[in-house]
Structure 1
Amino acid sequence: MDFFRINRTAVVTRPKPALIAWANEIFPEDPVSFEDMDQHDEQDIFLLPDLDGVEEVEAYLKQNVSDLLGALLEDWCMDESDWPSPLDWELFVRFFEYHIETVVVDTVEED
């Protein structure tokens, strides 16, 4: 199998306890325990344009943070009226750990 690098970067997000606390306030009848969360299944990966370095990726994330948070929060609560406000960078870093990956490798030979 041939692996090849694609011209993309990625950001991997993982919920922090503050997000879980918010979700538990919204849905107290079905609380989530941060300690019981699966370490592998609770992460989201977003493919981004091919950007030059971590600084450019962070600038891109900050420019698009409301869309990013919308996609992430929708997984937890579909009712936007329950979402915290504003959907800004401070909320993002309070609710999510994130890792920037500047190399993305495709292992599939199909389009």
Structure 2
Amino acid sequence: MINRAAVIVRLKKPFINWINTVDPYDKRSSVTLEEANEDRTVYLIDDAEAEHVDEWVDLNFMQLFECELEDWYQDESLWPEKIDKDLFDAWCEIECHTVVIDTVGGEMSESDI
């Protein structure tokens, strides 16, 4: 076990509607809620923060929201004009998992993406 908790942001229907309407290039295909939530980014946080994950999200929602928006469209001009906690709550749902087990062992390293 490692001293981290896993936070997963699940997209709600309004986020999916935005994904499907904002694309300036492809109006033929659309993403479903199930497809969008199939393989989500996992954010590792300090395990002590998991006890108060709502407070952690209140402090970090902007960074989470921007990461999620950027996953779909890097062009910020396509993003919603007003990004705030209310919009985040309407578009996203938080899951927090407190048991994280490192099955690989060895050192963790940061990727040079």
Runs (5+) with no aligned partner, structure 2: 108-113
The Cα shift of 1:22 comes to 0.7
Q: What amino acid is aligned across from residue 35 of structure 2 in structure 1?
A: M
More strand by share: 1
Q: Cα RMSD between the aligned structures?
A: 2.1
How many pairs does the alignment contain?
Answer: 105
* Residues 73 and 30 (structure 1), Cα distance of their counterparts in 2 relative to 1, 3 Å cut: farther
CA distance in 1, matches of 2:14, 2:56: 24
Runs (5+) with no aligned partner, structure 1: none
Q: Is the 8 A contact 1:65 1:87 kept in 2?
A: no
Structure 1 stretches of at least 4 aligned residues deviating more than 6 Å after TM superposition: none
Percent identical pairs in the alignment equals 33
* Residues 78 and 30 (structure 1), Cα distance of their counterparts in 2 relative to 1, 3 Å cut: farther
Q: Is the 8 A contact 1:12 1:45 kept in 2?
A: yes
Q: Which residue of 2 aligns with 1:96?
A: 92
Q: Is the 8 A contact 1:9 1:100 kept in 2?
A: yes
Per-residue CA deviations over 1:30-68 (Å, capped at 9, x if unaligned) read: 542325616532x221111222544x2211111011111
* Residues 85 and 62 (structure 1), Cα distance of their counterparts in 2 relative to 1, 3 Å cut: farther
2:103 aligned with 1:107: yes
Q: Which residue of 2 aligns with 1:20?
A: 16
Q: Is the 8 A contact 2:22 2:78 kept in 1?
A: yes
SS in 2 for 1:58: helix
Q: Which residue of 2 aligns with 1:51?
A: 48
Equivalent residue for 1:76, pick from 72, 78, 83: 72
* Residues 83 and 39 (structure 1), Cα distance of their counterparts in 2 relative to 1, 3 Å cut: closer
- What is the TM-score with the length of structure 1 in the denominator? 0.79
Equivalent residue for 1:33, pick from 31, 34, 37: 31
- What is the TM-score with the length of structure 2 in the denominator? 0.78
